[in-house]
Structure 1
């Protein structure tokens, strides 16, 4: 007998639609971040964007577990995910950088335009990911860029250089990992991603200066280690590990 998959039941259908609703909550988080930006509540805005990043990090696993393509097939989860990701990874962080004055005044709008256009390339390309679930080029994580520019308090010249570099890396033949899809590093990669999220959350929560510096270092080191895993994939080529 062939494998026909799990049988459709009201509970399974409800679970699949609940996962879609969980993904859609990212749009609400984007709205909350925009309201915080409007009120110049910078840390609150970053916390909403961090929450959206966590939702996006786990909703794919939930979708596969709930068989959303079978039990809630009316909704294209991939399209839903891309729309919300563009809001939370690109559009809202760009508004954050503009409103918070993180970019130099004379270059702020041109840099913001470059972010938008380069990110469209990422979201529209058909080969965004490799067969082993690595992103090709910088995957438009402008929420993370904005977070570090804000947390580190760098000047406008440095911020302009950082933004320009990541725009160029969007088109570079390098790889970035997906923390919960890449299987090359076993449990180490998702554990490192969780460490990064915890350190970053603590950093934004407003600790004292000494603890803030330590958390900034821990968050940065964890983030650089994740980036290094992707660069190692570029150097060594694809492995035989199955995609997530």
Structure 2
């Protein structure tokens, strides 16, 4: 029973890869809302599998199978690879820069995921944490001028390797209650944006941007990473 429970956690984590495949299939058909729904479910899976793994002591029960490696593999395809395709295929950047934008995302994301010190001792991310799924979501919702979109991709890629902190909303203790509340509100607003065809209007986009700004800047007020 203990082993079955541990395997169930690994299978749950691996389901993130299945969600990434579904997201990519939807993306190739231009069904962007469905793609982001799949990536959203993958976010939920990523949020619950770690606590379950620690609760059920999966690493001790199944020492041969690395949950950390499995998690990194799944996170790369859901946080980086599929979003890179969505960014490259968005049509929201100068045409000759769409493929370079996708390449920048996958290369910077791959190197970031290989960093053994991507997290600080107080559970902040060191550098932009390669959450390109969220960057792609904002690109589609805000639809900024083409050059602004490309500049944003370059800026985030550079910030991946900057010695600054980025907030982990669930694991950082400081103001955790506020972080979790804002994360929940963000999820509701993001859902509204998706069911609105990615054109929800300012009453959704403005609070989405304010929440993103909070999470983006919160780590800058900590000590250097």
Asked if these proteins are the same fold (TM beyond 0.5), I'd say yes
Q: Which SS does the other structure have where 1:101 is aligned?
A: coil
**Cα shift at 1:115:** 1.3
2:212 corresponds, among 218, 223, 226, to: 223
Distance 1:60 1:194 in 2: 19
Q: Note if contact 1:58-1:180 (Cα within 8 Å) is conserved in structure 2.
A: no
Q: Note if contact 1:137-1:170 (Cα within 8 Å) is conserved in structure 2.
A: yes
Unaligned runs of 5+ in 1: 1-9, 239-244
Unaligned runs of 5+ in 2: none
Q: Note if contact 2:89-2:98 (Cα within 8 Å) is conserved in structure 1.
A: no
Aligned to 1:15: 5
**Cα shift at 1:102:** 2.4
Distance 2:87 2:107 in 1: 16
Q: Note if contact 1:50-1:201 (Cα within 8 Å) is conserved in structure 2.
A: no
Aligned to 1:5: none
Matched ranges for 1:168-179 at <5 A = 168-179=158-169
Task: Flag as ranges the 4+ runs of structure 1 deviating above 6 A.
Answer: none
Distance 2:164 2:78 in 1: 23
Q: Note if contact 1:91-1:116 (Cα within 8 Å) is conserved in structure 2.
A: yes
Let me know the Cα RMSD of the aligned residues. 1.8
CA deviation string 1:30-67 (max 9, x = no partner): 01111111111111111111111222122211211121
Q: Note if contact 2:33-2:198 (Cα within 8 Å) is conserved in structure 1.
A: no
Task: Provide closer, same or farther for how the CA distance between residues 113 and 181 of structure 1 changes in structure 2, counting only shifts above 3 A.
Answer: same
1:111 corresponds, among 88, 101, 124, to: 101
2:137 corresponds, among 144, 147, 159, to: 147
Larger Rg: 1
Distance 2:201 2:52 in 1: 33
Matched ranges for 1:44-123 at <5 A = 44-123=34-113
**Cα shift at 1:207:** 7.1
**Cα shift at 1:133:** 1.0
Distance 1:172 1:79 in 2: 24
Residue-pair matches, total = 225
